[in-house]
Amino acid sequence: MLGVVAVAAAAGAAGQDARGGAARAPRFADYPAGAAFVGTPAAPDFKRNPAAEAFARELREGARRGPNFAGYLRVVEWSCGISCQRWMVVNTRNGRIHDSPEPAFSLEYQLNSVLLVVNTVGRFTAADPPDGVPIAKYYVWRNDRLQLIDTRAPKRTRSGSR
């Protein structure tokens, strides 16, 4: 019985149920974080990521506010144009700056969860995105990096011809 539970849990984490069908989208509650960091946040460490220096003002201001993701990380966002967000992750314990995998339309994350959702197509503004265009990419924070666990494309509806 324990093996069945382990297989079901692993399949659920991968975005499918144990029978191989598509499962519900990952939820924040399914990916809890440890205790939240309490203390003075570390300043961003640009020596380890010199390219991040171009966004020094945004990263310093964001990091000062403390963690907002995975218990001890700060997701710092800034605009890169209309419907575009650039972002990076700052470790509030040691100041390490982690690059983001891609710009986003919007992001979803919580202090008490290691799940981060990157919305790459506007849910409410893209009326009919082309087939295969991801609308949401689900990442979890593991081993000091974001790992992609699921990608969800919009469901297309077929309309009858007139």
* Inter-CA distances, 92 with 14, 38, 65, 99, Å: 28, 10, 9, 15
Specify if 11 maps to a domain. Answer: no
Higher pLDDT, 19 or 153: 153
Stated length of the chain: 162
Specify if 160 maps to a domain. Answer: no
What does the alpha-carbon distance between residue 51 and residue 72 come to, in Å, rounded to a whole number?
22
Specify if 74 maps to a domain. Answer: yes
Q: What is the tens place of the pLDDT at every residue in 129-141?
A: 555 466 899 999 9
What does the alpha-carbon distance between residue 122 and residue 55 come to, in Å, rounded to a whole number?
25
Higher pLDDT, 149 or 10: 149
User: Residue 8 has what pLDDT?
Assistant: 34
> What is the percent of the chain with per-residue pLDDT over 70, rounded to a whole number?
72
Q: CB neighbours of 15 closer than 8 A, spacing ≥ 6? A: 22, 23, 25, 26, 138, 149, 150
Q: What is the tens place of the pLDDT at every residue in 106-116?
A: 999 999 999 99
Reported pTM = 0.76
Number of neighbouring beta carbons within 10 Å of residue 14: 12
Show the CA angle centred on residue 111, arms to residues 106 and 112, nearest 5°.
120
| Domain membership of residue 97 as a residue range | 31-152
Specify if 12 maps to a domain. Answer: no
Q: How many domains does the chain have?
A: 1
Q: CB neighbours of 125 closer than 8 A, spacing ≥ 6? A: 83
